[in-house]
Amino acid sequence: MPELPEVETIKRQLKRGILNKKIKEVIVKDKRLIKGISPQIFKSKVEGKSIKDISRRGKVLIIKLEERLFLIFHLRISGLLILSKTTEDFSRVIFRLGDNRLLNFCDARVFGEIRLINDWQKLPFIKAMGPEPLELNKERFVKLFEGKKAKIKPLLMDQKLLAGVGNIYAQESLFCAGIHPERRADRVRSGELEKVHHCLTSILKEAIKKKGTSVDTYRQIDGQEGGYIPFLQVYQRENKPCLNCKTTIKRELIGGRGTYFCPHCQR
């Protein structure tokens, strides 16, 4: 599932690729992806509008059109945005631009969502979202976790607490900080939380530089894989030796999600 670095990569690439382009035509091949508005009204409101800005909040991509209209893309599990001259596998909603290139919203499993809205800040899942990790200093980061009895790893992934972090980067950050993913947040000392903050922000920035992690369906807008896989330290390394201490990496279900960790380095 695309997390902050993947959606940020898509945002930056779209900004270079489609800013100020006009959406000439919308082809809705699968209306299940369009939420909160009929596909016909969606089509008639979007067609003919120019793309004015592209931004990101958490894992959500926001395309600003003319007349204060916003296209909101929630990629969820397998959503992709591919810019090409042809339709792609699993193209569900296609935006044909003025220069005839196609912005394909592809989604193999159809969990993604597309909305058209004026006040995107008022969407319930946006309103409830916690702060952006790359905009938080360490003091504010530590405060988020203070006194929380839940396990640290599911908390890191809780979009209401902190926006944009998912299964991959929560695990990589906790490995980097030497914190066991099952430790209760109120039993992680503030100095350790500062280390999690440092690890998380540097890992997110590095993953953005490498254009994201393609462990599953995620691709850049030209269809290429992101380049962060060789830099993963613990994710999907079950039964392999820890890169620090050579102890065998374990995998356990924590908060319902497969979680990799080193039982020696992470306490």
Sole binder of Zn ion in the list 186, 241, 245, 258 (CB under 5 A): 245
**Closer CB to Zn ion, 36 or 241, in the complex:** 241
The answer for 213, left when phi > 0, alpha when psi is -120 to 50, beta otherwise, is beta
CA–CA distance, 197 with 180 (Å, rounded to integer): 15
Q: What minimum distance in Å lies between the beta carbon of 169 and Zn ion?
A: 19
Would you call 3 a catalytic residue per the annotation?
Answer: yes
Is 262 a binding residue for Zn ion by CB under 5 A? The answer is yes
**Closer CB to Zn ion, 27 or 243, in the complex:** 243
241 token code pair: 């030796």
Q: What minimum distance in Å lies between the beta carbon of 206 and Zn ion?
A: 20
99-138: contacts with Zn ion (CB under 5 A): none
Catalytic residue, from 49, 56, 57, 59: name it.
59
Q: What minimum distance in Å lies between the beta carbon of 88 and Zn ion?
A: 41
CA–CA distance, 64 with 56 (Å, rounded to integer): 11
Q: Partners of 82 in the beta sheet?
A: 104
Gyration radius of the chain over CA positions:
20
Q: What minimum distance in Å lies between the beta carbon of 246 and Zn ion?
A: 7
CA–CA distance, 20 with 64 (Å, rounded to integer): 10
Is 247 a binding residue for Zn ion by CB under 5 A? The answer is yes
CB atoms near residue 59 (< 10 Å) = 23
DSSP state of 45: H
Catalytic residue, from 2, 133, 154, 181: name it.
2
Q: What minimum distance in Å lies between the beta carbon of 130 and Zn ion?
A: 30
CA–CA distance, 20 with 50 (Å, rounded to integer): 6
165-194: contacts with Zn ion (CB under 5 A): none
**Closer CB to Zn ion, 68 or 240, in the complex:** 240
Q: Partners of 151 in the beta sheet?
A: 184
Would you call 59 a catalytic residue per the annotation?
Answer: yes
Is 41 a binding residue for Zn ion by CB under 5 A? The answer is no
Q: Where are the alpha helices (DSSP H) in 59-109?
A: none
Token pair 């893309």 is at which residue?
Answer: 73
- For 248, phi and psi rounded to 5 degrees? -70, 130
Amino acid identity of residue 141, one-letter, is F
205-244: contacts with Zn ion (CB under 5 A): 242, 244
Would you call 230 a catalytic residue per the annotation?
Answer: no
With beta carbons less than 8 A apart as the criterion, state whether 50 and 22 touch: yes
Residue nearest to Zn ion (CB): 242
With beta carbons less than 8 A apart as the criterion, state whether 262 and 175 touch: yes
**Closer CB to Zn ion, 75 or 176, in the complex:** 176
**Closer CB to Zn ion, 38 or 247, in the complex:** 247
> How many residues make contact with Zn ion (CB under 5 A)?
7
Would you call 43 a catalytic residue per the annotation?
Answer: no
Q: Which residues bind Zn ion (CB under 5 A)?
A: 242, 244-245, 247, 262, 264-265
User: Catalytic residue positions?
Assistant: 2-3, 59, 257
